[in-house]
Amino acid sequence: MYGKTRLRRNQTLATALLWGAVYTICLLIIKRVDLPVKTGIGIALVPVLFFLIFLVFLIREVASMDELQRKIQTEAVVTAFLLGLLLLMTLGMLDRVVTLDRNDWGYLDLVPFMGLFYAIGWWIARRKYS
């Protein structure tokens, strides 16, 4: 069973890295190349497909985990969700008072924070149950 778990973890990691690379490439293309609207929309949607593939592998990996590992993952996701909600709420409230520059705080700028928040939640849960 250990070999299967390791294989699933490696597959999940590979699909995550692939999504990250595709996301970064598409983002750079959209930011630096003047594209027709339809082409831009198509390029913007390419990472969605790769993220869906990553989700399938991630769900399979979590399904194969033991109860403790699932609990850690659940707490990490809940922490990330709540911190993400806090960030969105804070930015929304600040935007009502002072207009935030969309070049500094767009939706794309929130994506790395979600990963960071998940990592924080995972670290806290891992320490809690270790």
Q: What is the DSSP code string of 76-119?
A: HHHHHHHHHHHHHHHHHHHHHHSPPPTTTS-GGGHHHHHHHHHH
Tell me the pLDDT tens digit for each residue of 106-129: 778 888 899 999 999 999 999 999
Percentage of the residues of the chain whose pLDDT score is greater than 70: 98
pLDDT confidence of residue 2: 65
Q: Is the pTM of this model over 0.85?
A: no
